[in-house]
Structure 1
Amino acid sequence: MLPKVKTLRKGVVVYLLLVILFPLLLADSYYHSVGVIVGLHAIVAIGLGLVMGLAGQISLGQAGFWGIGAYTSAVLAAKYGVPPVLGVMIGAIVPGIVAFIVARAIAGLQGYYLAMATLAFGYIVQIGIAEWESVTGGANGMISIPPLDIFGIGSSEVSMYYLVWGVVTLVLLFSLNIMNSRVGRAYRAIHKSEIAATSMGVDVAQFKLSAFVVSGMFAGLSGALYAHYMGILDPQPFGLHESIKFLTIVVVGGMTSIWGALIGAVVINAIGEILIVLGEHLPWLKGDIDTIVFGAILVAIIMFMPEGLVPRVRSWLMKSKGDTRSEIRSEKVEMETVS
């Protein structure tokens, strides 16, 4: 386990250096805003990775939880004068409660049926936001959402960047701790075989429920931060398009890797920015072409690299170092210690 701990520490150090240096190396505020969006997407993707990669559940409605968190915090702050910081906290809690209710309702579903149920949930949330005009503003959206200003932090692009990535870091460390704990081993056991996990004394239903709730809270937290960062909201970003994007981020980075969610967020958003630049010169690349591109990437990854980028790179490095046998022994030990 010691080599893994050393590798984890090195990864965290490199990650922190990149996060700190990014706005210093790229001084343009445009890149800072892109960095904020990447961080917000990474928070959602890390939660989705816990559900899909560790607990083995499929969710196509993550944008719904994102939207619930965004509108909860925005409505509380803009219409009822609740401090944005408190609104963000409530914006994380409410989606967690909704996730608990939804998870209990669809607890018996698996595979395609689970995917369709979560997809329907996402549509219900988006339609509800659009139709509840008295609260959400409906299709016209909301304006004048107060910024998240904590002792001056969040009042500029750079400060908001560091604030968001500070939250990303906390979410990342929390998730890494889960992954390396008994809970994480139970999640992986469920992902590999629910029957085997049950035989080892793992409460499959409760662990699935906890993963879904944590994922919903992460998405809600990201949505609340998004609302106060943008200052305006409308129902459009909280539909199927964003759910597919979140799913693509997780699959591209690697569903079984927490780091994969971060890498996937960077890669997919970089591709999105490239498409925007190309769209200025090639009109046929404008519109919803990014949805088509993300869908094509998703299919290609599933066909040719189902484990994702981070696990594939890690596998290459392990083979080059001859660590395959030690990794197999480590997995066996994890399975034995779940119970």
Structure 2
Amino acid sequence: MKQLTKKWGKSLGIYLALMIIFPFVMPDEYYRSVGIIIGLQAIVAIGLCLVMGLAGQISLGQASFWGIGAYTSAVLTTKFGLTPLVGLVASAIVPAVFAFILGRAIAGLQGYYLAMATLAFGYIVQIGIQEWEPVTGGASGMISIPQVPFFGGSELSMYYLIWGIVTCVLLFSLNLMHSRIGRAFRAIHKSEVAATSMGIDVRKFKLNAFVVSGMFAGISGGLYAHYMGILDPQPFGMHESIKFLTMVVIGGMTSIWGALIGTLVIGFISEGLVMLSEVVPGLQGDVDTIVFGGILVLIVMFMPEGLVPRIRSLYEKAQAKKAAANAEQRVERKAAI
């Protein structure tokens, strides 16, 4: 943690300050709800970043784990009368178990085959939610999902609860990234053959990343269910998986901060499209999917490393030029003396 504070102290300070003051700068309930949804998406995106950026796996079914977590907590609290706390614990465990099973099944797949397998899993989960009507409510969904009793369950308290969890997930992921396990993940991402030759159990580390990612998505899904109070299968399909993928790619697949920044960028773009659709009715529907797909293609073509690594690279180059200029000035002063 000391190394983490030294490396990311300023970034963490700015993040915490912005997170704390946002509800007071934007006191409107609508913008607070937008902040809550962005926080929930950030938890999923950070988990996906661990899978894609560190373990080098492509996942097109992240929304399925989100949905499993949401419906797990919703079913336990509405059908069986358990408390939301128990439901949230289960919403972390059940998707992690599904991720473990799926991870073991697809451990030998790579590239397009891996992407197609996760895509197929996403479709299976969405169809299962729709067809298992006695439990999930099918296409009609579920209602009367109890709120999390956190300081009364107000919009402001939910905002701080969710962003508090985002902060915990962020710190855990940053610490993991700079640990021995994180170094193993980065070695796998660069070259599985080289990592194997160094004695790293590639399959084990990939599976661990997949399980942690599924757990994060499940926690977010459980919180989403209790925040919304209602559920239907629509948010847990391919559209949302593409959205999560776009968040990670925009921010930078190898950067945990990138996943958070990418979530904020996509969140603001989504809200902009919603506001624009009120003025231009023709933009209603699945236009956001086209926009996100276009952004994804452009980022891959022109800035494959993502926003945060690109900004960091430009900053380091500027600092190097500044240091070189200062050194040159010192040499000139000495020569003048």
Identify whether the pair has TM-score above 0.5, normalized to the shorter chain.
Answer: yes
- 1:328 corresponds to which residue? none
How far apart, in 2, do the equivalents of 1:200 and 1:263 lie? Answer: 33
Gaps of 5+ in 1: 324-339
**Which of 236, 240, 252 is matched with 1:238 structurally?**
236
Separation in 1, partners of 2:104, 2:20? 41
Q: Partner residue of 1:84?
A: 84
Paired AA for residue 47 in structure 2: G
- TM-aligned CA deviation for residue 284 of structure 1: 1.4
Q: d(CA) in 2 for partners of 1:103 and 1:248?
A: 22
Distance 2:259 2:145 in 1: 29
Of 225, 228, 235, 2:226 maps to 228
CA distance in 1, matches of 2:243, 2:182: 25
Cα offset for 1:182?
A: 0.4
> Paired residue for 1:179?
177
Task: Name the structure 2 match of 1:41.
Answer: 41
Match of 2:262 in 1: 264
Task: Return the letter of the residue paired with 1:174.
Answer: F
The one-letter code matched in structure 2 to 1:106 is I
Match in the other structure for 1:203: 201
The separation in 2 between residues aligned to 1:313 and 1:157, in whole angstroms, is 34
Q: What's the offset of the Cα at 1:101?
A: 0.2
TM-score (norm 1): 0.93
Matched with 1:126 is: 126
The TM-score with structure 2 as length reference comes to: 0.93
Q: For 1:288 and 1:269, locate their aligned partners in 2 and report how far apart those are by CA, in whole Å.
A: 16
1:6 and 1:106 map into 2 onto residues whose CA distance is: 38
Corresponding letter in the other structure for 2:32 = H
Match of 1:255 in 2: 253
Q: Structure 2 matches for 1:48-59, cutoff 5 A?
A: 48-59=48-59
Other-structure match for 2:71: 71
**Residues 244-284 of structure 1: per-residue CA shift (max 9 Å, x gap):** 00000000011000001110110001000000111011111
Q: In 1, are the aligned partners of 2:150 and 2:157 still within 8 Å (CA)?
A: no
Partner of 1:9: 9
> Within 1, Cα distance between the matches of 2:134 and 2:299?
43
Residue in 1 aligned with 2:307? 309
Q: Percent identity?
A: 71
Shift of 1:6: 2.8
Measured in 1, the distance between the counterparts of 2:278 and 2:175 equals 43
Letter in 2 for 1:91: S
Could you say what secondary structure the match of 1:225 adopts?
helix
- How many matched pairs? 320
Question: Which of structure 1's runs of 4+ aligned residues deviate more than 2 A?
Answer: 2-7
The residue number in structure 2 matching 1:32 is 32
DSSP-derived class of the 2:71 partner: helix
What is the RMSD of the two structures over their aligned residues, measured on CA atoms?
1.2
Larger Rg: 2
- Distance in 2 (alpha carbons) for counterparts of 1:322 and 1:209: 39
